[in-house]
Amino acid sequence: MAVAADTNRGREAQLVHAYAVCRGVARRAARNFYYAFMVLPHEKRDALSAVYAFMRHADDLSDDAAVSAAEKREQLEKWRAEMHDALSGAPTDDPVLFALADAQQRFQIPVELLDKLVDGTEMDVLEAPGSADAPAVIYQTFDDLQRYCYHVASVVGLICIRVFGYRDRSAEPLAERTGIAFQLTNIIRDVKEDAGMGRVYLPQQDMLQFNRSPLELAVARLNDGFDPASFRPVLELEAQRARELYRSADKLIPLIDEDCRPALWVLVEIYRRLLEKIAAGGFNVFGPRVRLTPLEKLGVVARGLWRKVVQFG
């Protein structure tokens, strides 16, 4: 009995430490998500922090410029295998995997969704990526881009609603579309940054519609008399698609458990305001990175907390 009690206390201490590590990762790296986490109940905040930390490590592996595509895939497959081992109950010293295994069991997160998170990061591992001087278009059509967005963003939405809690299955397609809205917002904001890494996520078909070329996004050209207005029609097209998808978020919020509605509202509001801030600036995403200030985000959190008080006060 004493041995079992000591074992349980040891596991609880390890779990407390593991979740603290995951919260630290989320606090440092999840510049938008973490503000929504602040409004979540403790257990659900910890669970999503664990998922985020797991996803963040996979992203870091896929983005490491010093490693070849083959090595990146090998590392991602190793991370996937370690995740499966941890979920099956194998001992692990990795705090992220230890916390993830607890969160997955506690909230019944489908393992296939966690696999799809890794699949999404692998989609960014290109055998022959472009360069800063000749960025490459990755997706030819918007349908192609949506399939990518599903793996890197819709899957996140599907995991989030497992943690939030829901009963109506119609929440699932709404979460998928909400994730795509978030990812499109990121793609619009990060056009310059992605081009600098040799990647253009704007669909080739959309750029051709407005007589634009990925070569115009080469770093040398961006620094030599580039006219930001030239890409505005393409970015407006993607922004309008994102706005339509955000309507799904408005329908999703009432379908999740009440204790998480303020947090989802905060997340949607932050991303939606970011998109509108980009639009208000004429879609000039080629200078300093457009972002909401911490004060603007905290203002959204304050409104979210007020909603929580009104609902549960």
- Tell me how far apart the alpha carbons of residues 251 and 193 are, in angstroms, rounded to a whole number: 32
Say what percent of the chain tops pLDDT 90: 75
Q: Per-residue pLDDT for 6 more than 60?
A: no
CATH number for the segment(s) 1-126: 1.10.600.10
In the chain, where the domains are located = 1-126, 129-313
Residue 265 binned pLDDT confidence (cut-offs 50, 70, 90): very high
CATH fold of 129-313: Farnesyl Diphosphate Synthase (1.10.600)
- Tell me how far apart the alpha carbons of residues 83 and 205 are, in angstroms, rounded to a whole number: 38
Q: What is the mean pLDDT of residues 6-34?
A: 86
The identity of residue 156, as a single letter, is: V
The per-residue pLDDT for 5 is 52
Lowest mean pLDDT among 176-180, 238-242, 243-247, 306-310: 306-310
Query: What are 127-163's pLDDT values in tens digits?
Result: 666 788 889 899 999 999 999 999 999 999 999 999 9
The per-residue pLDDT for 313 is 46
Q: What is the mean pLDDT of residues 276-297?
A: 94
The per-residue pLDDT for 182 is 97
Cite the beta strand spans of the chain per DSSP E: 136-137, 199-200
Q: Per-residue pLDDT for 50 more than 80?
A: yes
Contact 161, 175 (CB under 8 A): yes
The single residue listed with the structure tokens 């709404």 is 174
Query: What are 108-123's pLDDT values in tens digits?
Result: 999 999 999 999 999 9
Q: What is the mean pLDDT of the chain?
A: 91
Q: What is the mean pLDDT of residues 87-91?
A: 94
Identical topology for domains 1-126 and 129-313: yes
The single residue listed with the structure tokens 């947090």 is 263
